């Protein structure tokens, strides 16, 4: 049972404590409403830095923040760790894995999940990066494979352990490839001396003709140049067709033997049982009006990656990025508390991606730049966006330490305990 206390106030149920749900709850804290915040985890996750956890650069606790701690001083919020299963729109009730509750207003902010485009085998065998748990799993696998490689005499068998294939040339794929290349150049020669680091191949496969498709052509070209300089084998205009856990098959028939494929080729939204088919569009996004209300049900609001709002500027919906989620949450809180009538308008603050140490590309609305200063800006923006002073401080210290020593010191293989 969810055991939600009765309240004389209107009940707003928010599903998802990510960028959108978390921001909305913060903006409505101590307002005359009852907030029920549901998430399947008891913490907020800062997804843009998952890849640094996977590359042993940051601890998971530096990029996660406990929801209860965030709302310690908030009187009107009830937090429950529960997973949404169904919406009963006629009764204004939701069903979760922990029980059922009613809502006056429902806000769906459940983000996305990895899209394997229906390829079951790839889904089972490849790694993805959509949660702190997956990032840790990848970190363990990379480190364990280095250990196995040390004990393997046969060249081909060893290659399988140390080579990595990344699928998808968006920000996640590019940032991962850059971080792996750094690990190859700075960590392997020091700690895994018996492995010839030049034997490590990092392949980045991208279906399109350039990298960082959501950014400018210049940013994509610069990222390509930086990655090539770091020794990453970037393969453009090719699709991965199959992966059986041992070998990647590309659509031109080429194969790459490899025990680690990281799938960063796309996301789609969770389908919510109980909502009609006409509520959805491409990628299972839910169609909303300018007030972020679900077109098919005005008591349901949708925010962030899950929302699809088409306007004159964004005819195919907004990009699925953190800023859209945050701005939509702020808009919704304001429109409820101040009774605003205007539609949501997204203010694009720009986009950026980092490629290894010292290098990044930044597209701002009025200017584009790259290199060291772009990297400094990237660091600053990410630290500023993290939740919690301790997290900001720890990440800053970690990054300064890594920068000075060319080292990350978190290469522990911590295996989950299994009861016999
Ligand atoms: C690896 C990676 C790197 C990224 N890098 C960047 C970047 O550099 N810059 C940028 O702007 N954006 C980046 N993004 C995208 C950005 O993280 C998303 O756009 C943003 O998180 C969307 O916010 P949201 O609130 O819609 O969803 P999320 O932040 O994904 O939050 C969704 C929440 O819903 C919860 N949830 C899901 N299903 C259920 C359920 N059934 N029941 C209960 N709770 C549920 C989840 O646990 C989660 O807490 C990146 C994403 C990834 C995966």
Pocket test of ligand 1: the residue of 38, 84, 111 to mutate, having most ligand atoms within 8 Å of its CB, is 111
User: Is the CB of residue 110 below 6 angstroms from any atom belonging to ligand 1?
Assistant: yes
Nearest residue by C-alpha to atom 19 in ligand 1: 321
- Give domain 11-114+267-337's CATH superfamily: FAD/NAD(P)-binding domain (3.50.50.60)
Mean pLDDT of 300-310: 98
Mean pLDDT of 331-343: 94
pLDDT value of position 333: 97
Distance 269 CA to ligand 1 centre (A): 10
**High-pLDDT (> 90) share of the chain, %:** 83
pLDDT value of position 405: 77
pLDDT value of position 416: 75
- Give domain 120-262's CATH superfamily: FAD/NAD(P)-binding domain (3.50.50.60)
Mean pLDDT of 326-347: 95
pLDDT value of position 409: 64
User: Is the CB of residue 220 below 6 angstroms from any atom belonging to ligand 1?
Assistant: no
Does the pLDDT of residue 406 top 90, yes or no? no
User: What are the pLDDT digits (tens) for 157-216?
Assistant: 899 999 999 999 999 999 999 999 998 998 888 888 888 888 899 999 999 999 999 899
CB atoms within 10 A of CB 145: 19
Q: Where in the chain is the domain with CATH 3.50.50.60?
A: 11-114+267-337, 120-262
CA distance 130 to 305: 13
Distances (CA, A) of 370 to 171, 246, 296, 399: 15, 37, 44, 19
pLDDT-based confidence at 417, cuts 50/70/90? confident
Instruction: Give the global pTM.
Output: 0.95
Does the pLDDT of residue 412 top 80, yes or no? no
Pocket test of ligand 1: the residue of 14, 41, 43, 48 to mutate, having most ligand atoms within 8 Å of its CB, is 48
Does the pLDDT of residue 411 top 80, yes or no? no
CA distance 322 to 112: 12
Question: For the sheet containing 240-243, what is the strand order?
Answer: 240-243, 247-250, 255-257
Report the mean per-residue pLDDT for the chain. 94
CA distance 394 to 383: 10
Residue recorded with tokens 């997804």:
47
Q: Give DSSP secondary structure letters for 297-326.
A: EEEEEE-GGGEE---SS-TT---SSHHHHH
pLDDT-based confidence at 340, cuts 50/70/90? confident
Closest listed residue to residue 2, CA positions, set 80, 105, 86, 77: 80
Does the pLDDT of residue 56 top 90, yes or no? no
Q: Taking a C-beta distance cutoff of 8 angstroms, is the pair 146, 62 a contact?
A: no
Give the nearest ligand 1 atom to 20 CA: 25
Give the nearest ligand 1 atom to 305 CA: 26
Does the pLDDT of residue 271 top 90, yes or no? yes
pLDDT value of position 244: 95
Does the pLDDT of residue 281 top 90, yes or no? yes
Closest listed residue to residue 18, CA positions, set 44, 40, 47, 41: 44
pLDDT value of position 79: 98
Give the nearest ligand 1 atom to 49 CA: 3
Q: At 37, list the tokens.
A: 């915040």
User: What are the pLDDT digits (tens) for 214-245?
Assistant: 899 999 999 999 999 999 999 999 999 999 99
Q: Are strands 43-45 and 64-66 parallel, antiparallel or unpaired?
A: antiparallel
User: Is the CB of residue 325 below 6 angstroms from any atom belonging to ligand 1?
Assistant: yes
User: Is the CB of residue 164 below 6 angstroms from any atom belonging to ligand 1?
Assistant: no
Nearest residue by C-alpha to atom 35 in ligand 1: 16
pLDDT value of position 246: 92
Distances (CA, A) of 326 to 20, 21, 100, 208: 5, 9, 28, 29
User: Is the CB of residue 111 below 6 angstroms from any atom belonging to ligand 1?
Assistant: yes
Distance 325 CA to ligand 1 centre (A): 9
pLDDT-based confidence at 36, cuts 50/70/90? very high
Pocket test of ligand 1: the residue of 2, 15, 16 to mutate, having most ligand atoms within 8 Å of its CB, is 16
User: Is the CB of residue 15 below 6 angstroms from any atom belonging to ligand 1?
Assistant: yes
CA distance 177 to 165: 9
Does the pLDDT of residue 408 top 70, yes or no? no
Give the nearest ligand 1 atom to 96 CA: 42
Angle (nearest 5°) at CA 27 between 89 and 19: 75
CA distance 17 to 367: 33
User: What are the pLDDT digits (tens) for 108-124?
Assistant: 999 999 999 999 999 99
**Extended strands (E) in 214-276:** 233-235, 240-243, 247-250, 255-257, 261-263, 267-269
């Amino acid at each position: 049972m969810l055991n939600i206390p009765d309240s004389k106030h209107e009940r707003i149920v928010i599903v998802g404590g990510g960028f959108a749900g978390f921001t909305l709850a913060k903006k409505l804290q101590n307002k005359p409403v009852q907030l029920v915040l549901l998430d399947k985890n008891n913490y907020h996750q800062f997804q843009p830095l998952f890849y640094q956890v996977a590359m042993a650069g940051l601890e998971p606790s530096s990029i996660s923040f406990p929801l209860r701690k965030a709302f310690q001083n908030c009187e009107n919020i009830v937090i429950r760790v529960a997973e949404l299963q169904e919406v009963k729109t006629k009764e204004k009730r939701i069903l979760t894995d922990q029980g059922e509750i009613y809502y006056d207003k429902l806000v769906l902010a459940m983000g996305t999940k990895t899209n394997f485009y229906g390829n079951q085998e790839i889904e089972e065998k490849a790694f993805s990066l959509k949660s702190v748990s997956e990032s840790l799993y990848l970190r363990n696998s990379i480190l364990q494979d280095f250990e196995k490689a040390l004990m393997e005499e046969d060249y081909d068998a060893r290659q399988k352990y140390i080579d990595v294939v990344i699928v998808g040339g968006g920000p996640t794929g590019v940032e991962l490839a850059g971080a792996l290349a750094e690990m190859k150049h700075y960590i392997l020669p020091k700690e895994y001396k018996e492995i010839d680091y030049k034997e490590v191949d990092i392949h980045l496969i991208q279906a399109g003709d350039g990298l960082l498709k959501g950014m400018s052509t210049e940013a994509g070209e610069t990222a390509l140049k930086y990655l090539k300089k770091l020794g990453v084998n970037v393969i453009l205009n090719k699709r991965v067709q199959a992966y059986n856990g041992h070998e990647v098959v590309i659509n031109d028939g080429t194969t790459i033997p490899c025990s680690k494929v990281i799938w960063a080729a796309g996301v789609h939204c969770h389908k919510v049982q109980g909502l009609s088919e006409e509520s959805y569009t491409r990628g299972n996004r839910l169609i909303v009006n300018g007030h972020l209300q679900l077109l098919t049900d005005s008591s349901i609001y949708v925010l962030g990656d899950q929302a699809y709002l088409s306007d004159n500027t964004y005819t195919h919906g907004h990009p699925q990025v953190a800023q859209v989620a945050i701005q939509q949450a702020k808009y919704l809180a304001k429109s409820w508390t101040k009774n605003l009538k205007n539609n949501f308008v997204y203010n694009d603050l720009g986009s950026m991606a980092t490629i290894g140490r010292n290098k990044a590309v930044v597209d701002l609305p009025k200017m584009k730049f790259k290199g060291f200063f772009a990297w400094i800006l990237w660091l600053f923006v990410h630290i500023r966006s993290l939740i919690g002073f301790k997290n900001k401080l720890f990440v800053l210290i970690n990054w300064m330490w890594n920068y000075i020593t060319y080292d990350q010191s978190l290469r522990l293989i911590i295996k989950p305990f299994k009861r016999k």
